[in-house]
Chain A
């Protein structure tokens, strides 16, 4: 099959979405639609076959679609998702975390060639890993060599320099929780940060609370991070959030062997398993 143009993929997406809605199998199909700006698209929920013509596909389709499936955890009908490689990893993530059921999803997989989003340059899985129908020709998965380059460079700085860098970043943070709400690994029914009367997390947006939030988020998400980069994309203050989670992934790789997550729904996570032969530093 020859390589598909953007317009051809868009037609195929619309056709598949229409088909799914016409059979009555799905309640809606989530994809992207145009905004008033040419270089921005937004998530769109097509609920009737006619509305499928609003769905578009171009290099600005950067919003993650999978997380919206959590809006209704007990749906009557299937939830249709147009999913790129990263979205399917997100789906695997949420299924493995027992937040979604595979049988409640209808996945229209689209092979993605990278979008106008810096994180796409480090994408290892452009082909959907799980789907009901696939649009496009699967491509080889390649983990980019640059995956941990940034982390390694940052580790070389002095501790004071590292602290100062993060302190400046936390001073910028406005505590809007966009990173949490966009993250497919942040799928707890109720976030610890929303239970702030309990006292784990203060509501003030100062360095102290932002630091606690940043570290807690990085650690909590770290071993389940699918590297989709949504956190960094959505941050209105442009904090380098992936630099924290990737650090966790790098350490897991170094200590416990090659690790990527969200590749299948059955896998275990690094902190949810162990080997008796793991390195030990606490003797």
Chain B
């Protein structure tokens, strides 16, 4: 169907009657002392009057916390004689529509599905949220300078796994969107807003390309698997400060920890995001830590994204959204690492760093 840009709020209003709609908009915090309003683009629940921003840069935080929240209560308990109980807390029954997810983030949800649904175990918390979600993906129009999803094998114009694919009609400045249902859920969604159909419009725009082109070896995953002790790790991990920014902003990082919060004789068990960049991630009970320094930790992160996940699930876990590049306190850059690893001699015994981008110019 064809949906005029000006009709988007109307469409979302119709949809929000049936489900909670989450769409990219601006969260504002006003600082009354300076008059400055801090603005941040994130996925927020749609309410009447909310300004939806589908173009421009991608959201600061990925939409993963709508499916896999940062803090998720699992069960609560009380130890009080006959009144004792253990109660499971499953996610609430709430239909959700994630509106305006970019192809890179859609691919990350596919990866999360693989982790939480396949290999013999189904995560009931994730499954319940995932089943209730309908996803409307949007073809990317303005890749940021840190975006390199097409180098990672993702088409910024297409998200095949989304329920509905939305592309601007005709030119990037076009006044309407072409919406195509890709699943049954998607059809139902489009039926709900069919009254807004413009009937005619141009072909969906498919011309977006990423601003950052990187050179990545086709078999980088296999190459890296043989580079565990390569001297490159010493160099590229030195600047890391060991914070969790990259993992918490990464749309595909899914590690969690389980802990409990006790108040007297009652409490609850919850799970929350964990980061492989933290020292306690692999620390064992006696204090031994197989990943004692940032070198081992960052190596694990890069290897997981680019090699281990391929081995287990057959795809690269880095989707090229560029969030870790944009927000890294030390300005480390996974795309730079991919290029360096691609150019590196896997059997080398020493490694000399080269300035960013120079290996590309030579090639």
Contacts and interface: CB of A to CB of B under 8 A. Distances in A.
Interface of A: 33-37, 40-45, 48, 50-51, 54, 63, 67-68, 71, 150, 153-154, 156-157, 161, 165, 168-169, 172, 174-178, 180-182, 190, 194-196, 202-206, 233-234, 236-238, 240
Given A51-B353, A174-B249, A236-B248, 12 more contacts: A33-B355, A34-B356, A42-B333, A63-B331, A68-B238, A68-B239, A150-B34, A175-B244, A178-B241, A195-B280, A234-B243, A234-B245
Contacts of B71: 204-206
A35 B272 contact: no
B264 to A, nearest CB: 14
Size bracket, chain B contacts:
35 or more
Interface in B253-282: 257, 259, 261, 270, 272-275, 278-280
25 contacts: A35-B333, A36-B357, A42-B330, A42-B331, A43-B239, A45-B235, A48-B352, A63-B330, A67-B241, A71-B238, A71-B294, A172-B29, A174-B70, A176-B248, A177-B244, A182-B243, A196-B280, A203-B259, A206-B71, A234-B241, A234-B245, A234-B329, A236-B327, A238-B40, A240-B31
B204 to A, nearest CB: 31
Given A44-B239, A204-B71, A35 B245 contact: no
Nearest to B29: A168
B249 A236 contact: yes
A205 B275 contact: no
Contacts of A237: 40, 60
What 10 A-B pairs are tightest by C-beta distance, nearest first? Answer: A234-B329, A153-B33, A178-B243, A176-B244, A42-B331, A236-B327, A43-B239, A204-B71, A181-B241, A36-B356
Contacts of B6: none
A67 to B, nearest CB: 7
Most A C-beta atoms less than 10 A away, residue of B33, B242, B333: B33
A204 B65 CA distance: 13
Interface string B22-44: 00000101011110001010000
Contacts of B273: 205
Contacts of B147: none
Q: Is the interface of B mostly helix, strand, loop or mixed?
A: loop
Given A206-B71, A240-B31, A43 B327 contact: no
A205 B32 CA distance: 26
Nearest to A56: B355
Contacts of B238: 43, 45, 68, 71
Given A45-B238, A177-B243, A194-B280, A203 B274 contact: yes
Interface of B: 27, 29, 31-34, 38, 40, 60-61, 70-71, 145, 212, 235, 238-239, 241-245, 247-249, 257, 259, 261, 270, 272-275, 278-280, 293-294, 327, 329-333, 335-336, 352-353, 355-357
B38 A238 contact: yes
A203 B269 CA distance: 12
A157 B32 contact: yes
Contacts of A168: 29
A150 B33 contact: yes
B331 A176 contact: no
A177 B279 CA distance: 12
Contacts of A233: 329
Contacts of A194: 278-280
Given A176-B248, A236-B249, A181 B242 contact: yes
Contacts of B294: 71
A30 to B, nearest CB: 9
Nearest to A236: B327
